Structure 1
C-alpha cells in the first residue's frame, strides 16, 4: 500500500506560476508569444501560466513520448502530435514543459523547432532535476529545482493517474516518510 505526501501546495504552485508569468510578460514586453504546451503533463501548468501572462499569444500543443507508464525515461523521444511549421516560423516560441529531468525531450524539441526558423525559442518548465540532466541545455524559466524524486499531481502522472491533484505530491510506501530536508526545493535554477 502506498500514500501520497504533499511536496508543494496549490498555493505555492499558484504563487510561483504568477512570478514566472510576470517575468515572461516583462521579457516579451510589446511582443507576441506562441506558447507550445507539451502534452500531457504540462497542460495544467501551461493553462495557469497562459492565463497569468499579460501578452497577446497563440497557444499550440504537441505530444511526445519518452516515458510510457514507467517512472524513468526510456531515452527515446518520439513525436506523437506535431505542430504545423507555419505556426512557428518567425515567431517567439515558449515551449512549456512539466518537468525537465534528463533533458532528452527539451533537447529534441529545441532541435526540432530550430529547423522551423522561429524568431526565438525559450523553455519554461515547472520543475527541473539538475542532477539528472544528460544534456547541456538552458531552461530559461524554472518553477522549482527538485532532487531526483518521482512526483505526481498538477498535471504529472503515474500510469495515467493523479494528474488531477491540485498539489504536487510524491508516492511513498507504507512505513516510509518523505525526507523534507532532503527535498530542498528551490525556486528557479
Structure 2
C-alpha cells in the first residue's frame, strides 16, 4: 500500500483500499442486474459500520433508488455481541410493496441482521435482500446467510477494523480493513 500509513494497532491488512474498491464495484453490478426491473428500490444502510461501503456501493448503482438508514446493534463497545439486539434508529421510508436492499458491513453472529430482517419483513416489502461487505459464518449463533457478500472472513477470532468497522467507535476511518493486534 504505497503512501498509506498503517496504524500501529493493526496486526495485518486483510483488504486494501484497491481490493475494496474493486469488490464493491462488482457488488454494485450485482445490484444493477438484480434490480434492473425494479420501479421502487429502497437501499437501507445499517449504520454506523456500513457507511463507507454503502456510499461506495450506491455511487455505482445506475438505477433510481431511495436511501434510508437504520441503527441496530448487538454490540456494547466490546469485542463480543451482547446477544441483545436494539433498534436505535428506524426507517423514515414506508417500504410496503417496495424492493428493499439491506446493506450491512458484516454478518457475524447473525443476531443483528436476522432481527432487522424480521422487523422489515413484517412491513410487507415486495422483496427484501441483504448484501454485506464481509461474511463471517464461523461467528454465527443464529442461522442466516446474506443474499450477496463481498469477502469471506474465515478466522473466528479475527476482529476487524477500518473502512467503517470499529473498536469502541474508533478506527472506522482507515481506508483498508485490518485485524487489530491482540493485547496480552
TM-score (norm 1): 0.87
Q: Write the mapping of 1:20-59 to structure 2, written as runs, cut at 5 A.
A: 20-31=27-38, 32-59=40-67
Task: Tell me if the contact between 1:104 and 1:134 (Cα under 8 Å) persists in the aligned partners.
Answer: yes
Q: Tell me, what secondary structure is at the counterpart of 2:57?
A: helix
Q: Which runs of 5+ in 2 are unaligned?
A: 1-7
In the other structure, the counterpart of 2:162 is 153
Q: Tell me, what secondary structure is at the counterpart of 1:74?
A: strand
In the other structure, the counterpart of 1:108 is 115
Please give the root-mean-square deviation of Cα atoms over the aligned residues, in Å: 1.5
Matched, 1:77 2:85: yes
Q: Write the mapping of 1:113-132 to structure 2, written as runs, cut at 5 A.
A: 113-132=120-139
- Give the deviation of 1:173 after TM superposition: 4.1
Q: Which runs of 5+ in 1 are unaligned?
A: 177-189
Task: Tell me if the contact between 2:28 and 2:61 (Cα under 8 Å) persists in the aligned partners.
Answer: yes
Q: Write the mapping of 1:132-143 to structure 2, written as runs, cut at 5 A.
A: 132-143=139-150
Q: Which consecutive segments of 4 or more residues in structure 1 shift more than 3 A?
A: none
In 2, the alpha carbon distance for the partners of 1:102 and 1:29 equals 31
Which has the larger displacement, 59-68 or 11-20?
Answer: 59-68
Q: Any idea what the Cα deviations from partners look like across 1:27-71, whole Å, max 9, x if unmatched?
A: 111213111000110011011101111111000011012112101
Number of matched pairs:
173
In 1, the alpha carbon distance for the partners of 2:64 and 2:23 equals 21
- Give the deviation of 1:7 after TM superposition: 1.2
- Give the deviation of 1:22 after TM superposition: 0.2
Task: Tell me if the contact between 1:34 and 1:93 (Cα under 8 Å) persists in the aligned partners.
Answer: yes
Task: Tell me if the contact between 1:30 and 1:55 (Cα under 8 Å) persists in the aligned partners.
Answer: no
